[in-house]
């Protein structure tokens, strides 16, 4: 193993142990819902969100609104994403 490989392995090992954080399940689920809502906003922007800013920042408070707009103005694929966000 070369010295560069050893150095990179050490950096990776240290980074992995230091960056791990523990989240309670409620916070983790909320983060996933926000991530999915942001993804849906970008994916269905032209179909459901064309009258809003393209760079709108979706937060936890906006997840229900994104789901509602998807189910109200979207096709079947948007409806499925919207219902998944409601769970």
Residue 46, domain member (yes or no): yes
Which residues have CB under 8 Å from 73's CB, separation 6+? 47, 48
pLDDT tens for the 87 residues of the chain, in order: 688 888 888 777 666 555 567 788 899 999 999 999 999 999 999 999 999 999 999 999 999 999 999 999 999 999 999 999 998
Q: Which domain holds residue 68?
A: 23-86
Residue 52, domain member (yes or no): yes
Residue 60, domain member (yes or no): yes
Please give the pLDDT value at position 5: 84
Residue 1, domain member (yes or no): no
Residue 51, domain member (yes or no): yes
Which residues have CB under 8 Å from 40's CB, separation 6+? 66, 70, 78, 81, 82, 85
What tokens were used for 29? Answer: 């689920």
What is the domain count for the chain? Answer: 1
Residue 58, domain member (yes or no): yes
């Amino acid at each position: 193993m070369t010295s560069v490989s050893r150095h990179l392995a050490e950096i990776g090992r240290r980074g992995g142990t230091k960056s791990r954080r523990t989240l309670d399940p409620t916070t983790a689920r909320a983060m996933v819902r926000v991530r999915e809502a942001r993804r849906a906003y970008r994916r269905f922007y032209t179909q459901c969100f064309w009258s809003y800013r393209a760079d709108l920042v979706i937060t936890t408070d906006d997840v229900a609104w994104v789901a509602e707009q998807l189910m109200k103005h979207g096709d079947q694929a948007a409806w499925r994403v919207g219902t998944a966000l409601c769970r």
